Amino acid sequence: MALTQQRKQEIITQYQVHETDTGSADVQVAMLTARINRLSEHLQSNKKDHSSRRGLLKLIGQRKRLLSYIQEESRDRYQALIARLGIRG
């Protein structure tokens, strides 16, 4: 379920805060969202894969913590990020 190196680079260039940014909270949330989406698709067809479901829940919790950190830092940045990612409708 890992992301390819090319896909990671695309996500980094889309969500980086500055030119040399590779690990800001925004980038991490975008990476987690991509992994969550892939795992969700996997679980649609493999309903009994409970270990992957547990991993999905862990990823969702990690993304939630990062989003709350971003929200504390800057409410505008938080709103822009969730709008770009299409989460929390």
Q: Where are the domains of the chain?
A: 59-89
- Give the three-class secondary structure for 74: coil
pLDDT digits (tens, 9 = 90+) for 1-24: 588 999 999 999 999 999 999 999
- In tens, the pLDDT along 52-86 reads 999 999 999 999 999 999 999 999 999 999 999 99
Rounded-to-integer distance, Cα 53 and Cα 68, Å: 23
Q: Looking up tokens 């862990």, which residue turns up?
A: 58
Compute the distance between CA of residue 27 and CA of residue 7 in angstroms, rounded to an integer: 12
Q: What is d(CA 82, CA 66) in angstroms, rounded to the nearest whole number?
A: 12
Helix ranges restricted to H, 1-89: 5-15, 25-45, 50-73, 75-85
pTM: predicted TM-score of the whole model, two decimal places = 0.93
